[in-house]
């Protein structure tokens, strides 16, 4: 990668493709005031993964990496009082930092760890994001997707309502469902 040299990453799928990279390998300290540095590096890595690897789901045809997870070793207890199994910064396309550990990202990370022999079935896996929120995942069975070994995950966590919307359709509107050109 221009300006960063060679980087290695794991690619996992949990509903979307994710590139998992060591924050240390990118040279960005795992500090909140470095959020913009993580966003910039995440954009560069997404572009490099898509240019060099072009990940494609074997059954659905879903294509492209739109998420980068910068991993750092867990060193201290998380909000639950226990040390998490993973700590990370999650960058989403086109370039924003996610406040959530990410359900599809947690699923993809568990699949990568399972493939590496680092996570068995029916074992809790606590994934903590940059700001301290956590999801707990568990792989409940092995299966296959196309020619690939795959796993079935479960995820638990918390979410909070952040907005509501109300949409109204005027009965006199000649295009209440929109239009196509």
The pLDDT tens digits of the residues spanning 44-57 come to: 999 999 999 999 99
- Does residue 111 lie in a domain region? yes
Q: Is residue 100 part of a domain?
A: yes
Tell me what pLDDT residue 76 has: 66
Q: Shortest CA distance to 32 belongs to which of 127, 109, 124, 131? A: 131
**Structural domains in the chain (count):** 1
Residue 4 lies in a domain: no
Share of the chain above pLDDT 90, in %: 75
In contact, 80 and 68? CB cutoff 8 Å: no
pLDDT at 99: 87
- State whether the Cα torsion 168-172-173-175 is positive or negative: positive
C-alpha distances in Å from residue 180, one per residue of 5, 69, 96, 101: 46, 37, 31, 37
Q: What is the pLDDT of residue 159?
A: 78
Tokens for 121, please give them: 């079935």
Cβ–Cβ under 8 Å, residues 129 and 88: yes
* Residue 165 belongs to some domain of the structure: no
Concatenated DSSP letters for 94-135?
A: TTEE-SS--HHHHHHHHHHHHHTTS--TT--EEEEETTS-EE
Residue 169 in domain: no
Q: 48-59 burial, b for 16+ CB within 10 Å, e for fewer?
A: bbbeeeebebee
Note whether residue 75 is domain-resident: yes
Residue 3 lies in a domain: no
Q: What is the CATH number of the domain that holds 44?
A: 3.10.310.10
Residue at 161 is within a domain: no
Residue 145: predicted pLDDT: 95
Confidence of residue 81 (pLDDT cuts 50, 70, 90): low
pLDDT band at 9 (very low <50, low <70, confident <90, very high): very high
Structural domain boundaries, residue 94:
10-156
In this structure, the number of other CB atoms found within 10 A of the CB of residue 144 comes to: 9
Is the Cβ–Cβ distance between 109 and 134 less than 8 Å? no
């Amino acid at each position: 990668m221009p300006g960063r040299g060679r980087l290695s990453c794991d690619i996992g799928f949990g509903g979307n493709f994710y590139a998992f990279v060591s924050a240390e390998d990118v040279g960005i300290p795992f500090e909140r005031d470095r959020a913009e540095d993580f966003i910039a590096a995440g954009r560069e890595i997404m572009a490099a993964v898509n240019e060099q690897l072009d990940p494609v789901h074997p059954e659905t045809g879903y294509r492209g990496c739109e998420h980068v997870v910068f991993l750092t070793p867990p060193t201290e207890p998380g909000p639950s009082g226990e040390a998490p199994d993973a700590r990370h910064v999650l960058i989403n396309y086109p370039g924003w930092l996610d406040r959530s550990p990410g359900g599809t990202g947690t699923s993809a990370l568990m699949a990568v760890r399972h493939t590496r022999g680092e996570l068995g079935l029916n074992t809790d896996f606590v994934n903590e994001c940059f700001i301290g929120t956590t999801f707990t995942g568990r792989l409940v069975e092995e299966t296959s997707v196309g020619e690939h070994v795959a796993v079935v995950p479960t995820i638990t966590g918390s979410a909070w309502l952040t907005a509501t919307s109300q949409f109204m359709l005027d009965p006199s509107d000649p295009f209440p469902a929109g239009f196509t050109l």
